[in-house]
Chain A
């Protein structure tokens, strides 16, 4: 009996979908890494083994405090005198009202400097504060 074999074709892998996927992943990781860097880079954040990695980060105002005691709102350097006013504005923001203030302070900051930031928060009526630490 004669068995008809299918005509042998050149085995080919379709590259187009794979390239699409890889490009998508590439764009995702590029955007994610850029989005994560939209804040002032603190040289040495303190370390803590019991700090909790947050699940919900909505409604947070992020302040960065460098070793010299300079305060940054995201990337912008702000004067301490104007800080409480700025916090009040954020708390009154109808789109994303600030409920908590996250303070990313360098481990070399002196208490007299971090106290000024806390005092500004207190002046604005913000009592829920968070210090940032790296997980050990």
Chain B
């Protein structure tokens, strides 16, 4: 009966310190995880659409970039997402890794287009087996020079 006496006589007291501790921990957890997440960003492009008749008068300055299929990674046997031959008018800009000189070459083309007063258009024509990582790398080079008109074309020899 001693236990019961003790319980009745005791004043009920709510301890809020552990509660605050836990809430703070949760708060810090959610703050850190939301800040650690990488931000998703945009690379815009357009699909080739039937041009309005007045736009068809001025011939655009078009640069065609072709992308080949990726090469296999020797260690994993998987295709490397940042590989595949990139060609601009038959000129190769590397089969894997960084695209050396691509930004400069596109920049020069854009400057020429602007000086001649025509619209600068980049058309990307990937192979059917070309990998998305490589395509985004080419689109990144287009974004680097501020190309506004990026479109996809299709290889007439493929479906």
Contacts and interface: CB of A to CB of B under 8 A. Distances in A.
A binds B: yes
Interface of A: 15, 19, 22-23, 25-26, 29-30, 32-33, 36, 44-54, 102, 104-112, 114-115, 118, 121-122, 126-135
A32 B139 contact: no
A131 B30 contact: no
A125 to B, nearest CB: 9
Interface of B: 16, 20, 23-24, 26-27, 30-31, 33-34, 37-47, 49, 67, 78-79, 81-82, 126-133, 135-137, 139-141, 143-144, 152, 154
Contact of A111 (B79, B81, B129, B140): B129
A132 B42 contact: yes
Contacts of B133: 46, 107-108
Nearest to B40: A132
A8 to B, nearest CB: 25
19 contacts: A19-B20, A22-B24, A33-B30, A44-B81, A46-B133, A47-B136, A52-B41, A107-B82, A108-B78, A108-B133, A109-B132, A110-B129, A111-B126, A128-B46, A129-B46, A130-B42, A131-B43, A132-B40, A132-B41
B139 A118 contact: no
B132 A22 contact: no
A128 B23 contact: no
Contacts of B81: 44, 46, 107-108
A127 B47 contact: yes
Contacts of A122: 47, 49
A110 B132 contact: yes
A129 B132 contact: no
A51 B140 contact: yes
Contacts of A25: 27, 31
Interface centre among A102, A105, A112 (most CB of B within 10 A): A112
A104 B126 CA distance: 18
Given A15-B16, A107-B81, A22 B43 contact: no
Given A53-B41, A107-B81, A112 B128 contact: yes
A33 B27 CA distance: 12
Given A48-B136, A107-B136, A26 B23 contact: yes
A120 B16 CA distance: 57
A130 B44 contact: yes
A32 B34 contact: yes
Given A50-B141, A51-B43, A110-B129, 14 more contacts: A15-B20, A22-B20, A26-B23, A29-B31, A32-B34, A48-B137, A49-B140, A105-B132, A107-B81, A108-B131, A111-B130, A114-B132, A132-B41, A133-B140
